[in-house]
Chains A and B, each alone.
Chain A
Amino acid sequence: MTTLLITTWVGALITLCCFTFLIKDNPFYRFAEHLFVGVSAGYYLSTISFHQVLKPNLLAKIWPTYFASGTAAEATPEYILIIPGLLGLLMLFRFSSNLSWVSRFTVAFVMGVSTGIAVVTSAEQYLIPQVKKAIVPLIVSGDYFGSFSNLVLVVGTVSCLFYFFFSTEHRGPVFGNVAKVGIWYLMISFGAAFGATVMGRISLLIGRFNFLLSDWLHLIK
């Protein structure tokens, strides 16, 4: 149980160090900030990158007898995975100023595969459904409010697209005015986003005070 106690106290201390930033930028905050960055980088490197990805997906597949457990240890080694392993190692050439071009092979491979996937999936899963969503019947029979809402939707999508593609050169009365309507829509959308952000940050703060008041000080249940 002592570990839990120490963890809670360390946590409370760090939390208070972070809160001192509200008074002003000070050594306590800088300390907590840098400790946090160091600890998280160490965590990502060892636990995540190595133990959760490289070991099971690369090492355990190439040398199952050493790195895999259970029935997976008897699987046949997949030596083909040495290729991505080597490509990954090539990335480390970035540290050298003369040989950094060697990493380009890896970069080229990653870019090829991921852009290839991106082209088809972004068209199929985002572009087409969103365009489809924006094409709605403008007149809903007997439902004036429904018709109005659909009109709002269509006008909004079209005018915002105008804004994106002609915003910096908003010349001429048509482009300029349509883009202006687009800005109104964006402002409503950003307002909603702001409201949502406020909501989220307050929820986080509630979480923190819950920790301090209940887990640490036991003032509330």
Chain B
Amino acid sequence: MNIFIKLKNLDRRWVFLFVALSVIIPLLFPFALPVVPTKAVANLHKFIENAEALPEGTRCFLSFDFDPASEPELKPSAVAILVHMFRRNLKPICGANWPVGGEMAEVALVEAANAYMSTYEDMKAQGKLAPGCKPIIERGVDYVNLGYKTGAIIHVKALCNDFMYPYPQDRDGNSTAEMAIFRNPDGRRFAMSDVGLIISFTAGTGGIETFISMAGEHKRPMAAGCTSVNIPRFTTYLQSGQLIGMTGGLPGAAEYETLIERPGKGCAGMTPQSIAHLVIMLFIIFGNLAYIAEQRNEAKKKG
């Protein structure tokens, strides 16, 4: 048992080294592990896939409520969902409740649009695109990035009535009033009621919960992409029926990527993720074995 006590007194930099290796080695020498979609992810995929719930050309509001600190967790699922929307000929309108969310949306939009356009021919040949899909998609027509506005709940409240007022310009300063994506056939101002689905990619507070707070006003179906840390908290919203689906953390992204058959950063991360989890669990077990050994030693001394 004394070996565990020795282990416990090991410099913690050895622990750090172990963790680093458990991530680096699987990244350098990747091997695939199976990814099984959970119910929450499958439900979201099914909803976006369903042409009755979201007919072609439906505009969806995607709120990017995170910053670089959570980008590795949330961007993969944002990209996967955006690609899926483009393939279904849905029109994502991106906004942000977090200050740098606009930048996060930009990177994800560019990556997803490129992924869609570069695989257009293949996907069309396989019949996996909605009939109205175009080979090239355009900003302001097929998607738009509105950027950040302060106010959180108050901002969302303003969106419920009218999009153009809080967002007179998109992130790059182009006037939104002229954009084709916001045009309604009957000439009405574009408001949250014209949106088919609200998805918030949420890190912590100020994301999907602000939309949930305003659900009484917009009455739109909602889904979330959340960081792993928030999964326990957001599960209650799934259960109370306030969210139709959710992708949780990097594993959630990997599951969505599997469902749309486009493995990306999420799937690639699953092997190091699994190994690192095992390493951390081993540390907890060793730590406690050392603790037990110590207790025994002390008991012997006393006895």
Contact = CB atoms under 8 A, between A and B. Distances in A.
Interface of A: 22-23, 43-44, 48-49, 52-53, 56-57, 60, 68-72, 114, 117, 121-122, 124-126, 129-130, 132-133, 189, 192-193, 196-200, 202-210, 213, 219-220
A132 B236 CA distance: 12
Given A22-B13, A22-B16, A200-B228, A206 B23 contact: yes
For chain B, what secondary structure do more than half of its interface residues adopt (helix, strand, loop), or is it mixed?
helix
Interface residues of B, number: 61
A70 B178 contact: yes
Interface of B: 13, 16, 19-20, 23-24, 27-28, 30, 69-73, 99-100, 102, 147-150, 153-154, 157, 166, 168-169, 171, 173-175, 177-178, 212-216, 227-232, 236, 239-242, 248-251, 265, 268-269, 272-273, 276-277, 280
A199 B72 contact: no
A132 B237 CA distance: 12
B240 A193 contact: no
The residue among B154, B168, B230 with the most chain A CB atoms within 10 A of its own CB is B168
What 9 pairs across the A-B complex have the smallest Cβ distances?
A207-B72, A70-B175, A200-B228, A203-B250, A199-B228, A133-B240, A48-B99, A202-B276, A196-B228
The residue among A69, A200, A208, A219 with the most chain B CB atoms within 10 A of its own CB is A200
Nearest to B216: A124
Given A52-B102, A69-B175, A209-B27, A198 B249 contact: no
Given A60-B168, A125-B215, A70 B153 contact: no
B241 to A, nearest CB: 8
A206 B250 contact: yes
Contact of B277 (A23, A49, A72, A198): A198
Contacts of B102: 52
Given A203-B273, A209-B27, A53 B229 contact: no
A193 B229 CA distance: 6
Given A48-B148, A200-B228, A204-B72, A210 B177 contact: no
Given A125-B212, A192-B232, A210-B265, A72 B71 contact: no
A202 B23 contact: yes
Contacts of A125: 212-216
Given A52-B171, A129-B242, 18 more contacts: A22-B16, A43-B100, A49-B150, A52-B102, A52-B149, A56-B168, A69-B169, A125-B212, A126-B213, A129-B241, A133-B236, A202-B277, A203-B269, A204-B70, A206-B23, A206-B273, A208-B72, A209-B27
For chain A, what secondary structure do more than half of its interface residues adopt (helix, strand, loop), or is it mixed?
helix
A208 B24 CA distance: 10
The residue among A57, A121, A206 with the most chain B CB atoms within 10 A of its own CB is A206
A60 B24 CA distance: 50
Contact of B249 (A122, A132, A200): A200
A196 B232 contact: yes
The residue among A43, A202, A204, A208 with the most chain B CB atoms within 10 A of its own CB is A202
A196 B229 contact: yes
A220 B271 CA distance: 15
A121 B153 contact: yes
Contacts of B24: 209, 213
B168 A68 contact: yes
